[in-house]
Amino acid sequence: MSHPALDALTARFGARIETGQAIRDQHGAGDSWHAAAPPEAVLFAETTGDVSEALAICHAHRFPVIAFGHGSSIEGQTQAVQGGLSLDLTRMTRVLRVSAPDMDATVEAGCTRQELNEYLRDTGLFLPIDVGAHATMGGLASTRASGTMTVRHGTMRDRVLGLTVVMADGEVIHTGGRARKSSSGYDLTGLFVGAEGTLGIITEVTLRLAGIPEAAKAGLYSFAEIAEATETVVEALQCGLCLNRIELLDALQMQAINAYNGTDHPETATLMIDMAGSPEQVAADLETFGALAEGHGAALAPCESPEAYNALWTLRHSALYSARALRPGAKSLSTDVCVPVSALPAVIAQIQAEIAAAGVVAPLHGHVGDGNFHLVMLFDGPEEQEVVRGLHSRLIAMALEAGGTATGEHGVGLGKKLYMQAEHGQALGIMRKIKAALDPGGILNPGKIFDL
């Protein structure tokens, strides 16, 4: 028998409420090791008004609602663990406005960063959130995503100026605005960014864009030991270079990348860096960085052409998929932590020693300019899964011990819930109070971030 909420949704939205198994299955799984949990139905929303009406119905019936974009989240954020409605926003892809002089734009939540950047092509502007996934703006905002350019351009927290949000009961609010800064009341924009759809559903996003730099040059630096690479990072950050990206890949990750892409880079700890600015500044800062890296024994391979530059960053973005390809058929627990940069060498050394002792295949890559790194831990079967989960918990304990966080950019979802108490202590109770105040029926993405 159908849930009365579904009847009401179908009465309102007709064929846009889909209940076919295939579409439900697709909406019940992210890009992760977490068990799939299909919703009872999927609604393809086309406007903020659709979202508002759907939420009003679900609120009245205490029916869960999970916002869905391209399903690229990797901590189980989109799984419908308590059933309910998956609210698909991928039909809301419009770029609503762009201001070149103010370097900002407003887009609908289903617009991807690739679509926005394509739209902006002739303006000299772009959104400097460079994640590997083909992700929507709503998803990027909701997980407080960041990617490779954070060291220069910040995270979604820094790029989102304002939002349109539909609250649990269907009320539509607008947060922030287009001013570059504001001291006007509570920072609701910042509260919804990173809330993973548990406090409201984002339908429109106003973004600060960046200017495409006059010049950009990249290089690949191979180190004998990973500690030499991380120490180079710490030194480079203190020099105030015009770094646009500074990415670490360990020997196993380089081996995976070579195998996956047919390349032949040295299979040793590697930094891929990108400088952006004026041609003179880029040249000078690349030289400074090269000297630092050489001081740590690195072999240098600067990219001499725009083609080589693009090829390098395409390689970098293959890190996750190449890692998974190391053990075809195995599952992968892809995790990320973020620590103060000075703690990187010790934390990486310690977790890699424990990984080696456990005999787990787990390549490492990360946005080390932020102190953020990922491990893709491969496992096959329940016994290996237990080992991998144990290492995962150890990694997070080390990160917290170092003053860091259980997740730098993937979010909490289902995968990091266990660690929220350890990270936040009493502050977790404050998060719960805010959740109860804004979603008293607990219908918005229930079971994510923390349990009530």
Stretch that binds its own copies, among 9-17, 113-121, 303-311, 420-428 (CB under 8 A): 420-428
Q: How far is the CB of 13 from its own copies (least distance, A)?
A: 24
The answer to whether 31 touches 376, Cβ cutoff 8 Å, is: no
Task: Determine if 122 is a binding residue for its own copies (CB under 8 A).
Answer: no
Element of type H or E holding 73: none
Is 428 a binding residue for its own copies by CB under 8 A? The answer is yes
Q: How many CB atoms lie within 10 A of CB 305?
A: 8
Considering only residues 96, 259, 353, 430, which one is a binding residue for its own copies as defined by CB under 8 A?
430
Judged by CB, which is closer to its own copies: 26, or 281?
281
Beta strands 243-249 and 364-367 are antiparallel
Q: Does 74 bind its own copies (CB under 8 A)?
A: no
Q: Is 370 in the site for its own copies (CB under 8 A)?
A: yes
In the complex, the smallest distance separating the C-beta of residue 185 from its own copies, rounded to whole angstroms, is: 6
- Closest contact distance (angstroms) between CB of 140 and its own copies is 11
Contact code string over 271-310 relative to its own copies, x by CB under 8 A? ------xx-xx--x--------------------------
Which is nearest to 270 in space by CA: 248, 287, 289? Answer: 248
CB of 381 to its own copies, least distance (A): 30
Is residue 334 within the footprint of its own copies (CB under 8 A)?
no
DSSP 15: G
Q: Which is nearer to its own copies, 230 or 322 (CB)?
A: 230
**Stretch of 5-13, 22-30, 32-40, 164-172 lying at the interface with its own copies (CB under 8 A):** 164-172
CB within 8 Å of 359: residues ≥ 6 apart: none
**Long-range contacts, 32-35 (Cβ 8 Å, 24+):** 32/73, 32/74, 32/75, 32/76, 32/334, 32/415, 33/331, 33/332, 33/333, 33/334, 34/75, 34/76, 34/79, 34/413, 34/414, 34/415, 35/79
- Residue 168 · residue 200 · CB < 8 Å: yes
Q: Find the binder of its own copies among 146, 148, 270, 334 (CB under 8 A).
A: 146
Task: Give the other-Cβ count within 10 Å of 55's Cβ.
Answer: 25
Q: Does residue 73 touch its own copies according to CB under 8 A?
A: no
Closest CA to 377 of 363, 390, 357, 366: 363
Pick from 31, 50, 104, 274 the residue near its own copies by CB under 8 A: 104
Separation between Cα atoms, residue 67 and residue 452, nearest integer Å: 19
Give CA–CA dist 449/77, Å, rounded.
9
Stretch touching its own copies by CB under 8 A, among 244-252, 312-320, 350-358, 405-413: 405-413
- Give the residue with the Cβ less far from its own copies, 22 or 437: 437
Contacts (CB under 8 A) with its own copies, residues 177-216:
177-188, 190-191, 193-195, 199, 211, 213-214
Q: Positive or negative CA dihedral for 353, 357, 358, 360?
A: positive
Closer by beta carbon to its own copies, 120 or else 199: 199
**Interaction pattern, residues 220-239, with its own copies; x per rule: CB under 8 A:** --------------x--xx-
Among 25, 49, 114, 171, indicate the residue that binds its own copies (CB under 8 A): 171
Question: What is the chain's alpha carbon radius of gyration, rounded to the nearest angstrom?
Answer: 22
